[in-house]
Amino acid sequence: MAEYYGTDLQIAIQKRMRERHVWIERTPDIANGGRVLNFVEPEKTGWDRIRELFAEDHVISFTAQPLATTMPHLKATFGDNCQYPYWNVFIGNVQRVIEACNAVIADVSTPMGWQLQSLETPTDDQISEVQKLNLATGIAPYPAFYTRGEAVPCLTTCLWNELGIMVATASANFRYHTNSRFSGHIFEGSVSVAEECRGMGLGKLLNASVLIDSHKLYNWVGAVAQARPDNEPSRRMIEACGLEMSPDLVTISVVASDEEFTR
């Protein structure tokens, strides 16, 4: 198991995220994404402070912002030498999401002997398995401290086949401050399915399971997810679990190098 993962820059950011834990916990306008600092209400943070943090990390993210106004502002602020990848934002209220997730769970079956389990405090070996599966499917893993719930409450749902090999996983974390505009919302994602097991509906199943189980633990009122505009399978998986794509909100990262943090 790797406590941190990735390039020197990525590991340095993850260490700073851990060191900033107390500050982030007290600040409603930001969120601890484990891999990168998330600005939920950047106007409250202030653009001078945001520029200072960008100078430290070289990668920052802006959660669920209006694309039409935020993208031009970011490009004017940080310049042409940065990358500006963005993700569509999906939001669902608790009733709609739980109903849809229960329908998914009732509809998708797994072979005899396979085991599905949600973990609040996974072991080092389990975290290692999750990290390997994430990397194999092109998803940047959370650092181990984040998966263990040491930054924010975090739940990891895993599926093992009859041989005890992890074939699918998903994560949900309660990252948003109680005074944030996303107060009471869970963030879910990091869905990974082994290549040989695709086409079985396991992405939907893991997504639905982590949402159902996290609701039992955290009693969230709404769910938030993200997907790249060109990732149609992820979009269908998220929408099957009762979340709807916002017509105008996106999450935008500002990247001052050739680093690629997640698909």
Judged against a pLDDT cut of 50, whether residue 129 lies above it is answered with yes
- pLDDT, residue 262, reads 53
The number of C-alpha atoms within 13 Å of 6 and in the hemisphere containing its C-beta is: 24
How far is Cα 156 from Cα 117, in angstroms, rounded to an integer? 8
pLDDT the model gives residue 259: 61
Residue 261 maps to a domain: no
Question: Quick check: 236 pLDDT over 70?
Answer: yes
Instruction: Give the pLDDT band (50/70/90) at residue 261.
Output: low
Parallel, antiparallel or unpaired: strands 30-32 and 37-39:
antiparallel
Q: What is the pLDDT of residues 43-58, one digit of tens each?
A: 999 999 999 999 999 9
Q: Among residues 20, 10, 9, 8, which one has the least CA distance to residue 141?
A: 10
Q: What angle do CA 38, 39, 40 make, to 5 degrees?
A: 110
Rounded mean pLDDT, 72-99: 97
Identify the pLDDT of residue 6. 85
Cα→Cα distances 173→4, 68, 112, 152, 168, Å: 18, 28, 30, 7, 17
Q: What is the pLDDT of residue 263?
A: 46
Q: Is residue 260 part of a domain?
A: no
What's the pLDDT band for 7 if we cut at 50, 70, 90? confident
pLDDT score of 20: 94
Would you say 130 and 147 are in contact if contact means Cβ atoms under 8 Å apart?
yes
Establish if 262 belongs to a structural domain. no
Q: Is there a domain that residue 1 lies in?
A: no
Mean pLDDT of 168-173: 98
Asked whether residue 115 carries a pLDDT value surpassing 70, the answer given is yes
Distance CA 136, CA 68 (A): 34
As a whole number, mean pLDDT of residues 232-247 equals 97
**What is the residue range of 161's domain?**
8-255
Percentage of residues in the chain with pLDDT exceeding 90? Answer: 95
Would you state the pLDDT for residue 169? Answer: 98
Whether 3 is covered by a domain: the verdict is no
Q: What is the pLDDT of residue 5?
A: 85
Asked, for residue 49, whether it belongs to a domain, the answer is: yes
The size of the chain, in residues, is: 263
Percent of the chain with pLDDT over 70: 97
Tokens of 64: 């669920």
Mean pLDDT (the chain) is 95
For residue 15, the domain's CATH number is: 3.40.630.30
Total domain count for the chain? 1
At 216, the amino acid letter reads K
Handedness of CA 40, 44, 49, 50 (dihedral sign): positive
193, part of any domain:
yes
Phi, psi of 220 (to 5 degrees): -70, 160
The whole-angstrom separation of Cα 190 and Cα 35 is: 12
| Residue 2: band (very low, low, confident or very high) from pLDDT cuts 50, 70, 90 | confident
Structural domain contains residue 60: yes
DSSP for 160-214, please give it: E-TTS-EEEEEEEE--S-TTSTTTTEEEEEEEEE-GGGTTSSHHHHHHHHHHHHH
Q: Specify the pTM.
A: 0.94
